[in-house]
Amino acid sequence: MRNAAQGPISRYFPIVTWSKDYSRETLTSDLVAAVIVTIMLIPQSLAYALLAGLPAEMGLYASILPLVAYAIFGTSRVLAVGPVAVVSLMTAAAIGQLGLETPAEYALAAGTLAFLSGGMLTLMGVLRLGFLANFLSHPVIAGFITASGILIALSQLKHILGVPAHGHTLPALLSSLVSHVTEISFATLIIGAFSLAFLFWVRKGLKPLLSRLGFGSRMADLLAKAGPVAAVAVTTLVTWGLALDTRGVSIVGAVPQGLPPFTAPSFDAALWRDLALAALLISIIGFVESVSVAQTLAAKRRQRIDPDQELIGLGTSNIAAAVSGGYPVTGGFARSVVNFDAGAETPAAGLFTAVGILLAALLLTPLLYFLPKAVLAATIIVAVLSLVDFSILKRAWGYSKVDFAAVTVTILLTLGFGVEVGVASGLLLSIGLHLYKTSRPHVAEVGLVPGTQHFRNILRHDVETHDHLVTLRVDESLYFANARFLEDYVSTRVVCDEPLSDVVLMFSAVNEVDLSALESLEALNLKLKDMGIRLHLSEVKGPVMDRLKRSGFLAHLSGEVYLSQYDAWDALKR
C-alpha cells in the first residue's frame, strides 16, 4: 500500500528515502556499528572463502562492493550482506563438480556463479517474483540448514586435523577423513583444538565473566563477538614465533594487498548451463535466509521491508561481487543481529563497514600471512554448529506427519547427496505433499444438531438425518487436483440401498471452484440426474457464486442453491 504512493525512484533506490533525514546522531550510531561488524567480518570473510574452496582474499573482496550495492538498493536498515556459510558451501559444491584444474578457473567460476545468481535475483525482483521463495517450506529450510551445518562442520575438520579431504556429502567426507587418519598433523590439531575450545568458551562463558567484571550487558555481548579476532591474533603470533608453518601447520600465506580487482564474469554458454541450476538454488536459499533475517529485525523497530526490492538489493550485491573479485553473497544472520544490536540505524552502517574491510584489504593482509587455516576452520565450526538444530524433527513429528516427512527427507538427501539435491528435493517434496493433501480433501457427511441450526459431522456428533437427504461438507477449495475426487466420492456415496433423492454440497469452506472443478460438478449433476437424484448447493461464497452464475451452471443444476445449510434442510426435509 505504501509503495503505491512512492515514486519509482524511491521504490528502486531506497537510499533516496533514508539519506534525506540523515543526522549527526545517526552517523555516530552507524559508525560504531560499522566498527564492530568490521572486526567480526574480517576473520569470517577469510574463513568462508576457504570453505568455498577459494583464496582468502576473495572473502574480503566479497565484503566490500556488495555492501555498497545493498546500501543503495536494499530495503532493510540493518541487514549485513557478505559471504555466509551455507552459500559458501553451495558455491564449493557447484564449482567442485565442474572438474576445474587451476585456482584461476575456480575463481572465474565463482565470480560467474555470483553474476548468474545476481542476474536471476535482480530479474525476479523486477518481475516481482519474490513470492516464489515462499515455496520453500519452513521445515524444508530448517532441515536443509541443519544438514548443511553438519556438512560444513565436517568439511572443516580436515583443517583442524591437518589432512586432505574431499567431497560434498556425508559419506564422501567421512570416508575421505577416515582414509587420511594416519596423516594427522599434531601441531595443527593442537592449534585447532585450542581455537575450538576457546571460541566455544567465548560464546558461552565470556559474556557472564565480563558481566561479573562490571561490564554492561550490551558491552559484554559485543566484546564477546570480538573473540574470534583475539584467537586470530594470538594464534598468528604463536605460529610466527614458533615457526609452526615449518612443522606441518597449514597457513593462509600471502594474501594480495590492495584494492579489489575488477573482474569480468565468464560468458561461456557451456559454463552458464553447468552453473544455472546451482545459481538458481543459491539465489533461492540466499534470498530466503536473508529476507527472514531482515523481516525479523525490521519488525522489532516497526519498519518493513519489501521482498521484491530485497531481490533487487541482493541481486545487485551479487553482481557487484562478480565484478570485484568476490563470490556469491547474501544477508547473514549473525552479523545482521550484531549490526542491529550495535545500534546501526541506516544502510550507511553497511557503507562504513565496506570502508573498514577495504582498509583491511589495503593494510592488514600482510599480517595474515601466518594465520593458521585451522583457526579459520574453528571459527566456521563454532558458527555453523549453532545452526544445527534437530528439534525441528520432534516439533514436526508432533504437529504433522507430512511436515515430518519433508524435514526428514530433506536432511537425509542433503547429507547423502549434497546441498543441491537436498534443497531441490525438499522443494519438490513440499509442493508434492501439499498437492497430495489438497487432492484428497476432508469431506464430512453432516446432520442437524437437534435444537440448533448447526450442522456437524455425523460420525462425531449425535445429529438428525433423513434417509432421502445426504449433506456433504467439503473442507477444501475445489480445483483440478481434487475435482475428480469429489465426483468419485459422491458417486460412491449415492450407490446405496436407501431411497436417496437429494444431495446437498455445503460449500462453506470452498474458497474457489476452478474450471476443472466446475466441469466435474456439471458431470456430477448429470450423473445424479440420471439416477433421479437432485444436486443442491448451500453456503456458497460470493466470489464463487459470481463465477457459477456467469458459467451457466446454475441453469442446469437439478436442485437449488440455498443461502444457508439450515435453509436447505428446511426446504428438503419431509
Residues 183-222 that bind its own copies (CB under 8 A): none
- Interacting stretch for its own copies, rule CB under 8 A, among 52-60, 111-119, 144-152, 484-492? 484-492
For residues 112 and 116, what is the distance between their CA atoms, to the nearest angstrom? Answer: 6
Q: Is residue 523 a contact point for its own copies (CB under 8 A)?
A: yes
Helices (H) and strands (E) counted in the chain, each on its own, are 27, 8
Tell me how far CA of residue 500 lies from CA of 184, 467, 531, 557, 559, in angstroms.
Answer: 80, 7, 9, 17, 14
Which one of 172, 230, 393, 402 is in contact with its own copies (CB under 8 A)?
402
User: Quick one: 26 or 477, whose CB is closer to its own copies?
Assistant: 477
Q: Round to whole Å and give the CA distance between 359 and 251.
A: 22
Under rule CB under 8 A, residue 547 binds its own copies: yes
Residue 89 CA, chain-centre distance (Å), reads 14
448 in the Ramachandran plot: left (φ > 0), alpha (ψ -120 to 50) or beta? beta
Give the DSSP letter of residue 180.
T
CA 414/CA 130 separation, integer angstroms: 25
Q: How many residues bind its own copies (CB under 8 A)?
A: 71
Task: Supply the minimum distance, in Å, between the C-beta of residue 515 and its own copies.
Answer: 4
Site string for its own copies, 285-304 (x = CB under 8 A): ----------xx--xx-x-x
Contact residues for 64 (Cβ-Cβ < 8 A; gap 6+)? 260, 324, 326, 354, 357, 358, 361
Q: Which 3 state secondary structure label does DSSP give 202?
A: helix
From residue 40 to residue 59, the character string flagging contacts with its own copies as x (rule: CB under 8 A) and all else as - is --------------------
Question: Is there binding between residue 491 and its own copies (CB under 8 A)?
Answer: yes
Query: Which grid coordinates are listed for 507?
Result: 460449500
Q: Which is nearer to its own copies, 341 or 514 (CB)?
A: 514
Q: Does 396 bind its own copies (CB under 8 A)?
A: yes
Binder of its own copies out of 476, 501, 502, 521 (CB under 8 A): 476
Helix (H, G, I), strand (E, B) or coil at 374: helix
- Cell numbers placing 4: 503505491
CA distance 540 to 564: 8
User: Nearer to its own copies by C-beta: 180 or 468?
Assistant: 468
Task: Give the interface segment with its own copies, choosing from 85-93, 162-170, 200-208, 480-488 (CB under 8 A).
Answer: 480-488
CB neighbourhood size of 512 (10 A):
13
Regarding 370 and contact with its own copies (CB under 8 A), the answer is no
Interface pick for its own copies out of 21, 101, 497, 530 (rule CB under 8 A): 530
Options 327, 352, 455, 485; binder of its own copies; rule CB under 8 A: 485
Letters for 423-442 (x = contact with its own copies by CB under 8 A, - = none) are: -------xx--xxxxxxxxx
From residue 261, how far is each of 59, 66, 165 by CA, in Å?
A: 13, 14, 30
With CA atoms as reference, report the closest residue to 29 among 244, 394, 392, 301. 301
461 binds its own copies (CB under 8 A): no
d(CA 240, CA 229): 16
For the segment 119-138, give every residue that binds its own copies (CB under 8 A). Answer: 131, 133-138
The one segment of 176-184, 238-246, 273-281, 526-534 that binds its own copies by CB under 8 A: 526-534
**Strand-pair partners of 445:** 472
Which of residues 166 and 304 has its CB atom nearest to its own copies in the complex?
A: 304
Of 157, 276, 472, 509, the residue at the interface with its own copies (CB under 8 A) is 509
Per CB under 8 A, the list member of 2, 20, 212, 273 interacting with its own copies is 2
Q: Of 208 and 398, which has the nearer Cβ to its own copies?
A: 398
CB nearer to its own copies: pick between 26 and 564: 564
Q: How far apart are CA 234 and CA 240, in angstroms?
A: 10
- To its own copies, the closest distance from the beta carbon of 56 in angstroms equals 36
Smallest distance from the beta carbon of 331 to its own copies, in angstroms? 16
CB of 130 to its own copies, least distance (A): 9
Instruction: Return the bridge partners of 535, or none.
Output: 503
When computed from its CA atoms, the radius of gyration of the chain, rounded to whole angstroms, is 30
